[in-house]
């Protein structure tokens, strides 16, 4: 058995609680995302900075605050504990020397989607799922296919027909059944729901099951641990479904409750593409939820999410943190990918370079001060996007 202190699931909206030891998707009462809750007082007894020093260099090191109960249900391909790179040369170039890059491209399947899907698929395996399904415009599908293969579960992937070749090929090579759908990720989601009803597939869509966010929140734990149990002034995060942002925000609260950090929080920044920016619009209009974005179009496949189930959680985290939401153009993403590459040695996905473009805009506006510590999330590798760089 792991040291997991999972106690129950709680709806992020209506607060209804549920037994955690059953397969669940959205809250049956209100249709919003369920969040995992832990006995943090108990977790704090063993999850200490000293204990962590001897633990493996992957995300399972935070086992007290992860949901998986059985050691043998943990699917391990090397996910997590990615480097926090001091990007001093880049920082000097742009006038913000304390710029750091959390390089998530080193995860299995080349993106941080591995964190969420390692957790979701491990937990689905533990709770008896036989076949799993996902709608994805890119990296999530590859990560899901990898962990399904590791688990010996059948995987069904639904992708928009215009998805770049590498994303599709990766899933097929990893043994998933890939169906191309004429339309957007939301149309793919409809297909997954049909399959779930007809064939009993378990749907591992973003925030439609409670555990991808638990995998993604480990980015928050790692950031704090790698910074000696402090947090940066600003975190810039390319936001699609928002699991990473909401997950880190949850992690900071858990860490504070366990006495690992204090009450200081980073200002959280959401970056979206000008071609699909539902969160930026909702942030600016000060609404609780985000209206779906019509005609979503961007080369950053991870940001082509016209409607996010966790919209209210993203907006809450941005507002509580004193953060902001901004757009950058696809042209900027392509341009700044090369700037990041040239000055750091990291070859980012366009979602990753979007954070650099955003940082530059926010420095110009005076929203970020030159002496502040800024963490950019390079959420994926540029390698799968060969079509963009040539
Ligand atoms: C999925 C994805 C994102 C968006 O992540 P969310 O946590 O869903 O907001 C950003 N970048 C890349 C490379 C992605 O694959």
CA gap 15, 12 in Å, rounded:
6
Any atom of ligand 1 within 6 Å of the Cβ of 349: yes
Q: Which pTM was predicted?
A: 0.97
Any atom of ligand 1 within 6 Å of the Cβ of 241: yes
Any atom of ligand 1 within 6 Å of the Cβ of 379: yes
Nearest to 38 by CA among 261, 317, 313, 255: 255
Kindly give the distance from the C-alpha atom of residue 50 to the centroid of ligand 1, in angstroms, as a whole number: 32
Q: Which domain holds residue 225?
A: 84-107+213-389
What is the predicted pLDDT for the residue at 250? 98
135 occurs within a structural domain: no
244 occurs within a structural domain: yes
Any atom of ligand 1 within 6 Å of the Cβ of 239: yes
Which of 235, 245, 303, 381 to mutate to test ligand 1, by most ligand atoms within 8 A of the CB atom?
303
Residue 318 backbone class (left: φ over 0; alpha: ψ -120 to 50; beta: rest): alpha
What is the predicted pLDDT for the residue at 390? 81
Any atom of ligand 1 within 6 Å of the Cβ of 242: yes
What is the predicted pLDDT for the residue at 115? 98
Kindly give the distance from the C-alpha atom of residue 41 to the centroid of ligand 1, in angstroms, as a whole number: 32
If one counts the domains in the chain, the total is 1
Considering only CA atoms, which residue is closest to atom 12 of ligand 1?
A: 302
Any atom of ligand 1 within 6 Å of the Cβ of 278: no
Any atom of ligand 1 within 6 Å of the Cβ of 376: no
310 occurs within a structural domain: yes
- DSSP labels for 100-148? EEEEGGGSGGGBTHHHHHHHHHHHHHHTT--EEEEE-SSHHHHHHHHHH
What is the predicted pLDDT for the residue at 258? 98
Kindly give the distance from the C-alpha atom of residue 100 to the centroid of ligand 1, in angstroms, as a whole number: 19
Walk along the chain (390 residues) and give the pLDDT tens digit of each residue.
999 999 999 999 999 999 999 999 999 999 999 999 999 999 999 999 999 999 999 999 999 999 999 999 999 999 999 999 999 999 999 999 999 999 999 999 999 999 999 999 999 999 999 999 999 978 999 999 999 999 999 999 999 998 899 999 999 999 999 999 998 788 899 999 999 999 999 999 988 999 999 999 999 999 999 999 999 999 999 999 999 999 999 999 999 999 999 999 999 999 999 999 999 999 999 999 999 999 999 999 999 989 898 999 999 999 999 999 999 999 999 999 999 999 999 999 999 999 999 999 999 999 999 999 999 999 999 999 999 998
What is the predicted pLDDT for the residue at 35? 97
170 occurs within a structural domain: no
321 occurs within a structural domain: yes
At 345, which CATH number? 3.40.50.1100
What is the predicted pLDDT for the residue at 242? 94
Any atom of ligand 1 within 6 Å of the Cβ of 135: no
Q: Residue written as tokens 């579960």?
A: 153
Any atom of ligand 1 within 6 Å of the Cβ of 33: no
Any atom of ligand 1 within 6 Å of the Cβ of 80: no
268 occurs within a structural domain: yes
40 occurs within a structural domain: no
Any atom of ligand 1 within 6 Å of the Cβ of 384: no
359 occurs within a structural domain: yes
Considering only CA atoms, which residue is closest to atom 4 of ligand 1?
A: 240
What is the predicted pLDDT for the residue at 184? 79
């Amino acid at each position: 058995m792991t040291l997991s202190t999972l106690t129950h699931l709680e709806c992020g909206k209506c607060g209804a609680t549920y037994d955690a030891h059953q397969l669940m998707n959205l809250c049956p009462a209100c249709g919003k995302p369920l969040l995992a809750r832990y006995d943090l007082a108990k977790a704090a007894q063993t999850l200490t900075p000293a204990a962590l020093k001897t633990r493996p260099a992957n995300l399972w090191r935070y086992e007290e605050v992860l949901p998986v109960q059985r050691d043998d249900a943990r699917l391990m391909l090397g996910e997590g504990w990615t480097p926090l790179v001091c990007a001093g040369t880049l920082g000097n170039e742009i006038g913000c020397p304390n710029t750091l890059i959390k390089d998530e491209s080193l995860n299995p399947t080349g993106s941080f989607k591995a964190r969420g899907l390692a957790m979701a698929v491990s937990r689905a395996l533990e709770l008896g799922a036989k076949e799993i399904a996902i709608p994805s415009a890119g990296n999530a599908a590859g990560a899901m296919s990898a962990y399904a293969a590791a688990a010996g579960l059948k995987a069904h992937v639904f992708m928009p027909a215009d998805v770049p070749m590498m994303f599709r090929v990766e899933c097929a090579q990893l043994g998933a059944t890939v169906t191309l759908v004429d339309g957007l990720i939301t149309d793919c989601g409809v297909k997954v729901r049909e399959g779930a009803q007809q064939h009993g597939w378990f749907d591992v869509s973003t925030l439609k099951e409670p555990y991808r966010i638990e995998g993604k929140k480990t980015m928050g734990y790692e950031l704090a641990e790698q910074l000696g149990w402090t947090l940066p002034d600003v975190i810039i995060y390319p936001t699609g479904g928002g699991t990473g942002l909401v997950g880190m925000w949850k992690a900071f609260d858990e860490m504070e409750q366990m006495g690992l950090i204090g009450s200081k929080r980073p200002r959280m920044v959401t970056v979206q593409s000008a071609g699909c920016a539902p969160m930026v619009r909702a942030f600016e209009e000060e609404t609780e939820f985000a209206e779906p974005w019509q005609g979503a179009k961007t080369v950053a496949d991870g940001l082509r999410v016209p409607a996010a189930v966790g919209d209210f959680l993203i907006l809450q985290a941005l507002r509580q943190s004193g953060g902001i939401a901004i757009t950058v153009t696809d042209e900027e993403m392509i341009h700044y990918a090369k700037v990041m590459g040239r000055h750091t040695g990291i070859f980012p996905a366009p979602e990753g370079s979007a954070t650099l473009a955003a940082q530059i805009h926010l420095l110009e506006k005076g929203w970020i001060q030159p002496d502040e510590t800024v963490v950019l999330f390079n959420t994926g590798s540029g390698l799968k996007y060969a079509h963009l760089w040539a």
